[in-house]
Amino acid sequence: MKTIEIKADQFFEILKLRGASMWEIFSQMIDGEEKEIIFLTEENAVLFNYILPSDKEKLEKDKQEFSKQFSEKLSELN
């Protein structure tokens, strides 16, 4: 499995500037092989990782599950 390291701050800033979502970028990276994406701080500490699936159907399921969990977390904060 290929590993890709991404500086989180820079990645999300670029997304904001382009008006793109991380899911759009992830979709473009799918090539039939799973990849581990590791998000790092500026000091190279691991923030979190994500296993990019080998197909877009699994990516869509991941996106839906992420959205569900994110919504639940937000509702817990309110």
End-to-end CA distance of the chain: 39
The answer to whether the beta carbons of residues 53 and 59 sit under 8 Å apart is yes
Site of tokens 């989180």: 8
- The string of pLDDT tens digits covering residues 11-40 is 999 999 999 999 999 999 999 999 999 999
What is the overall mean pLDDT for the chain?
Answer: 92
Q: What is the pTM of this model?
A: 0.82
Percentage of the chain with pLDDT > 70? 99
> Per the structure block, which two tokens stand in for 9?
């701050």
pLDDT at position 50 is 94
The answer to whether the beta carbons of residues 60 and 28 sit under 8 Å apart is no
Distance CA 27, CA 25 (A): 5
For residue 16, CA distances in Å to 19, 20, 33 come to: 5, 7, 27
